[in-house]
Amino acid sequence: MWSLIALTAVITLVLLVIFLGLIYFKPPVYRLTAKNLIILFELALSGEATESDWNIFIGVPIRYDDDLEDIRLACEELTEKKAVYPDSKRRLCLEPEARQALEGFIQALSL
């Protein structure tokens, strides 16, 4: 009888810990801000941004901010036009069209 009560208590405790863990430990959220984009664009202009940095940025839709999403889509278009491409060390290279666009985005985001 007591072993059944102890087993029930242990199972209840384990389920409670799992439930609380699911509530409090949420998956990380990738949420960009204008400041993050300015940093990325400055890194790209200085030749320090990596292909991975850029691909993560253009690959994840920004559903919570229409202005940032418009910039992301414009950057995706620059990539498709080959105005942004990686070099042999996987650093970003920018054509003049991309440089001009990123400088304009930095100015717009700085306001």
Element spanning 94, H or E: strand 92-94
pLDDT band, residue 71 (cuts 50/70/90): very high
Q: Is 86 helix (H, G, I), strand (E, B) or coil?
A: strand
Task: State the average pLDDT over residues 17-35.
Answer: 83
Paired tokens of 43: 């890194």
pLDDT score for 55: 94
Nearest to 49 by CA among 5, 91, 96: 91
pLDDT of 8 reads 87
Return the closest-CA partner of residue 36 out of 106, 84, 97: 106
